[in-house]
Chain A
Amino acid sequence: MSEIQTGDYYTRHFSPGPSDDTLIINMGPQHPSTHGVLRIIVELDGEYILRCEPVLGYVHRMHEHMGETKSYTQYLPNMGRVDYLHALAWNWAWCGAVEKLAGIEVPERAQYIRVLTTELNRISSHLLWWGAYILDLGAFSPILYAFQDREIIMDLLQIPTGSRLTYCYFRFGGVSADLSDAFLAGLKDFVPYLRGRLPMYRDLVTDNVILRKRCEGIGHFSPELCRRYGATGPVARGSGIDYDVRRAEPYSIYDRFDWEVPVLEAGDAMSRYLIRLAEIEQSLKIIEQALATIPSGDFIAKGAPKPKWAPPRGETYFAVEGARGKIGVWLVSDGTKTPYRVKLRAPGYCNLSLFAEAAQGVLLADAVSILGSLDLVIPEIDR
């Protein structure tokens, strides 16, 4: 666009509504409830939202272009930065896509290691969401409880991965380090510990009348809405869609464990809340079984690709279930050392896209509750 632009985003893009009595406000990009740098332009009639429009791109880093300039191996650390809360699922999505394209077998033990660490990471992501969501709704102390438990997970995951947040742990054909006895022992203790903490979460927050009043019946998403916008993960499952990539498109060894996909029909913010808490329990269940059956062996395949390796040409799509929904990687290779095209499907992006429709006609305070219940991680949405 070459002509000189005048006015702000609103005057350029948000043409005046039908009535003069409306008020347009900005939520974000520094609003605490937008979890980072999401900006939402809201048109209000009194306290009610007439329409709203999310504005993205504040932390856009063009990860997809970086994928076309780096080698396959060098792209690995990018994955931890796309979604810093569930970094290992993104690790897995990228490694899985490359492995699928090149037909690399992952050793049995590495599969277990991946399941253990990814599920642990999922719990830590849900715990942080839990604390932050309650914080959005105005209660400060629960996030401290969540951090107390999350701290243990981060200490545990620090043992094999060496980092605390932006993990870069998976490699093509396995993982970068074996699990130590300290990790396994710590994890064994952690499972009953967290199980014991969950009733406390229920007493402190879930049953609390204030939370109930702010979540129940708020932000109702119909299954049809989720389908039209491609929402997945806890958002879809909270609306009665029984869909989990771990079961729908089974990858790795998830079919060996006995676990359930929690689904609730209500479709309101409370059901999304309850789904995530139920998922923590299911992840604990998977971890428990994987711990009991983890075999010994290699943690990385013998013929794992060297850094300068090039996969065969072709294309593939690989999806995993992240804490926020379906993470997809579409990979096109022309047989050279750098990918020809990498498409990252971020679940938060699709989940947020339904917000504009779902927030029409709700109270502004409820919109905060709906936003929080979507579990937004802005770097993942912006990529």
Chain B
Amino acid sequence: MTLFKEFQSALKGLWSLAVGLKVTGREFARPQLTVHYPRKVVDNIVTYRGHIELVGKPKEPAVPKCITCMMCATVCPSGCISIKKFPPPKVAPAAEGEEAKPKAKPVKTPKAFNLNYNTCSLCGLCVQNCPVDSLRFSTDVYLAGVSRADFEYDLMARLAAQAEAVAKAKAPAEATAGAKPGEGGE
């Protein structure tokens, strides 16, 4: 009787292996799921939130909307944002006789805006708390570097480069649009 039971359980075990092999066989015939990087890349990067970058003003894309309120630098848990303000305008000493010049407006845009991406925890608190929406996430995901300095970004330079690239891409488009006036600007 026990011998019979042994056989039965051995057969059952063997059958479970056959069932498993059937699954393997079925999957074997399926098309490949992985993507051959770098010849191909995945297509869902748009929703990825990479390191932060500055947003330019709609009229002047090379100038950030930022008003150097320092909110992002204060709220950042990792302390990876460093912003340099322009010095406040010097009030020229009222020269004799002349009427005092109208006070120059303080420059609100940052002089420098640096991000140390090495320590960023991608929490999104800076983007969420910026009062003028001057920050957004980039979708840079294919990042590689040989030293830490490679991940210390000058975001002002990045914005300027982006604006230039956009302008360049626009220029030929405008040249063709110029032939048909009336359809140009939006």
Contacts and interface: CB of A to CB of B under 8 A. Distances in A.
A73 B125 contact: yes
A208 B17 contact: yes
A77 B124 CA distance: 9
B47 A176 contact: no
Interface in A313-333: none
Interface in A73-113: 73-78, 81
Contacts, number: 76
B124 A176 contact: yes
A158 B45 CA distance: 9
Interface string A60-78: 0000000000100111111
A209 B122 contact: no
Interface stretch (A197-205, A267-275, A348-356, A358-366): A197-205
Interface string B137-153: 10000000000000000
Interface stretch (B21-29, B55-63, B88-96, B168-176): B21-29
A76 B123 contact: yes
A278 B78 CA distance: 39
Place the interface of chain A in its size category: 20 to 34
Contact of A307 (B49, B75, B122): B75
Nearest to A205: B20
A260 interface: no
A141 interface: yes
Contact of B122 (A75, A148, A168): A168
A162 B47 contact: yes
Nearest to B77: A74
Interface of A: 70, 73-78, 81, 141, 145, 148, 155, 158-159, 161-164, 166, 168, 171, 176, 200, 203-205, 207-210, 212, 307-308
Given A74-B76, A76-B77, 8 more contacts: A148-B33, A155-B44, A162-B48, A166-B121, A204-B23, A209-B16, A212-B16, A307-B71
9 contacts: A76-B77, A78-B77, A81-B121, A158-B44, A159-B47, A207-B19, A307-B71, A307-B125, A308-B74
